[in-house]
Amino acid sequence: TGFCSSKKLVQFVIYILEGSPQLECLTLDTTPGPRYSTKCGIIRKHTSKKMGICCPMMTESNIAEAHEAVKAANTYIAGRVPLGVGLQVLEPCSECNNPKWW
């Protein structure tokens, strides 16, 4: 949890990708870190790569940063993923994106 659009974090993920020949899968969770570990626990099925757990504690700034992190992952990381390595970028679900939670 806690992947963000920080340049240093993006560089670190690229370093991991380039330096880990045995890597099979990498999941980047764009939601906030450990202080949000008590999610509401409502599990939903999504057909996209959106998270399946709703977190009513997500703030508007958390949602905005999560979207920036998804853009950063798609722009700077996705094209550098070696063949055979699965990349999954988790973003807030539609429930978390609902302004009623802010």
First to last CA, the chain: 20
- Per-residue pLDDT tens over the stretch 5-55: 999 999 999 999 999 999 999 999 887 755 444 443 333 343 344 444 556
> Which of 15, 11, 51, 48 lies closest to 32, judged by CA?
51
Q: What is the mean pLDDT of the chain?
A: 76
- Kind plus residue range of the DSSP H or E element containing 88: strand 86-90
pLDDT classification of 84: cutoffs 50, 70, 90: very high
How many CA atoms does the CB half-sphere of 91 hold within 13 Å?
Answer: 20
Query: Given this model, what pLDDT does residue 55 score?
Result: 62
pLDDT at residue 89 tops 60: yes
Query: Given this model, what pLDDT does residue 90 score?
Result: 84
pTM of the model: 0.73
Instruction: Give yes or no for a contact between 17 and 79, defined as CB atoms under 8 angstroms apart.
Output: no
